[in-house]
Structures are given as C-alpha cells and as structure tokens.
Amino acid sequence: MGLIYKETDPVRLSDDGRAVIALDQTKLPNEISYLSISGAQEMYDAIKSLAVRGAPCIGVFAGYSIAVLAKRYADEGMPADDVLLRLKEDASYLDSSRPTAVNLSWALKRQMSLAEKCCKNGFSAKDMASSLCEEAVSIHEEDINMCRKIAEYGLSLLHDGDGILTHCNAGALATSRYGTGLGPLLLGKEKGYEFHVYSDETRPLLQGARLTAYELMRAGVDETVICDNMASLLMKRGKIQAVLVGCDRIAANGDTANKIGTSGVAILAQYYGIPFYVLGPYSTIDMSTPTGDDIRIEEREPEEIGTMWYEHRMIPEGAKCYNPAFDVTDHSLIAAIITDRGILSAPYTESIATAVKEKP
C-alpha cells in the first residue's frame, strides 16, 4: 500500500488541459476511481456530492475548473470579452455549490480577478486561458507548501507517544499532500514519532471512518476508529493528549467552522483540559466574516442520516431529520490556530489580523 500523501493528488489537470481529474471520494475506501470533469454542471455536482471535498481541495479544484472552462471557450473560438462573461456565470454557479468552506469562493475570486486583468490588458482568449491554467497550478503548489509548513508547526506542539483525537478528514484527500489536521501525524511518522490516533467516525457522512482511517493506515500510523459519542470516555480515561482538526472558515475573531460535531469535541476537550488545535492555511481565514455567527452553515439532505448507508431505512418513514453539515467552535475553546504563517494564539482578533497583514 502506498502513501496517499506522497503519491495521490485528489485533483489535478488532465494532460491536455481539457478536464479536471478528481479522485471520487464518495467511493472510498472500497474503490479507487477517478472522474474526468469538463463541464460546469459536472463540476458543481462533484463538489455538491462530496466526490471532491475538504476546504483546501475544493479551492484547488475550483482553480482548475475555471482554467478548464476558459480553455474550452477559447477553443470554441469565443473572443476574450465573451469568455469573461461566461466565466463570471460559471464562477457564481460553482460558488453556490457549498456555502461554508471559504476556500471555494477564495479560489474563484482569485481566478476571476486574473481573468478580468487579462481582458483589461487585451489578452486573447487563448492567452487568458493559459494564464488561468498557470494560476490554477500556483494555487495547487501553494497549497502543497502551506500544508507542509502547517505539518511542521503542528508537530512542534506534540510529543512522541501522544494520543490524538481527530474529527472528519483533514488529510491528503482534503488538501494537497500532508493535509492540515493530519499533517503533523504524517510528518511525525516520517520522523519516528509514534502517535496513537483516534478518528471520530464523523456522522453522517463518515469522513473519519472512511477517509482518515484509510489515509492513516496507509501511512502506517497507529489508528483506531471510534463512534463520535465515544470521545468523552477516551478523554476521561486519559487516552487523548491533543485534538487536531481542520477548518472550513476562520472568522476574524478566531471562531471556526468545521465539520458538524467539532464544537462538541472542543467543549469536551476544554472540560478535560486537553488542548484543542485548529489547523488550516491562511486562505481559510475570512476577514470579511467578523464572528462565527456570520458564517453560513450548509444544510444537507435528510437521506444522509437515515437511509444512505443502510440496506434498510433506519428511521421511521415520515420522521423528520435535521442535517447541518458544519458547526462553529467558539474561539475561547481553541488552544491555537496553526497556519502556514505560524502558530496563532489568543487574543485571535490581533494574531489573525497580524498574520493576514504579512502578505495580502
């Protein structure tokens, strides 16, 4: 079995630049299959269905998607001004696929401001498409480098032999290479650390059971899957020395959106005096969102709770289900936010503003 974080890019550009190739994460851990995606509707569906998932990975996918669409319009002979108009429609359509992870709109805005610049400077449609392709590759390469830095900073806070709790999946599948929340564990393994990792299975879509367990096992990290409601017992028994999670949007005051269930884990960690660390790239910080109350929480289909994983339905016909996909962890519960720009600590309003100011 190979190391996913060394060998697998969950998304990449096809050799001819006409499609985004994406590992279909809905099929893991049982099947490794790739989608070849070239139209806006398929791109939207890939994000919405969670075939492509994890905040940074969605951002990288969005960057490549705009490059692919631009090339397609240029190849059809559209003039640059028309390509720009079409891309604006596509970007706003893709942006509506998932509302909580800021990396999606961050990458789309970055691509669209480049497209506008190309048009203003009189680029042909073909040259505009090449620039967007280069920018998509830069977004991807930056994410690889950011993940590596986050892994190094995160590892500096851990000790050999620590028991670590994770929630959802913030590894190579959700990002590029080392991941964010799992980065310190993968890097630590390379450096000879032995961690004991407990992965919350992460109801209802089981990213912890299906994806984190898959990644960590392949990397040879000692790993145990638990149901979400077992974390408290493990903490009480002294099995957990730190909690590591990724993030989908960090508000200016440090409140952080992540997979549903994360805030409950943070509350438990505070009760038991266990440090709760959030790991993510600077592109996940959203200075235009003042607090967690301003973060829009995605609500998903009720079928994900009662029927989709079972041979027979597990809730009575007609019973109501509520399925918010994320929650917000209050900044007061977070021991540190570990970014590629360093380890940020409270007061977060100041440390985040300083980190963001370093580079635009």
**Contacts to ligand MRU by CB under 6 A:** 50, 53-56, 101, 168, 170, 174-175, 179-180, 207, 246-248, 258-259, 325
Q: Quick one: 101 or 128, whose CB is closer to ligand MRU?
A: 101
DSSP 79: -
Which residue number has the CB closest to ligand MRU?
Answer: 246
Closest Cα partner for 126 from 78, 166, 165? Answer: 78
- The CA distance from 322 to 328, in Å, is 17
Q: How far does Cα 297 stand from its chain's mean position? A: 15
Taking the complex as a whole, the smallest distance from the CB of residue 167 to ligand MRU amounts, in Å, to 7
Contact partners, residue 75, CB within 8 Å, separation at least 6: none
* Contact of 219 with 251, CB cutoff 8 Å: no
Smallest distance from ligand MRU to CB 67, Å? 22
* Identity of the residue, 175 or 339, whose beta carbon is nearer to ligand MRU in the bound complex: 175
* Token representation of residue 93: 């359509």
Give the strand pairing for 342-344 and 11-13. unpaired
The C-alpha angle 272, 183, 170, rounded to 5 degrees, equals 75
Sequence-distant (6+) residues with CB within 8 A of 217 are: 1, 223
Cβ proximity to ligand MRU: between 111 and 258 the closer is: 258
| 248 in active site | yes
Smallest distance, Å, CB 130 to ligand MRU? 29
Given the complex with ligand MRU, which of 130 and 207 has the nearer CB atom?
207
Q: How far is the CB of 315 from ligand MRU (least distance, A)?
A: 21
Of the residues 248, 286, 327, 340, which is catalytic?
248
Which positions are catalytic?
248
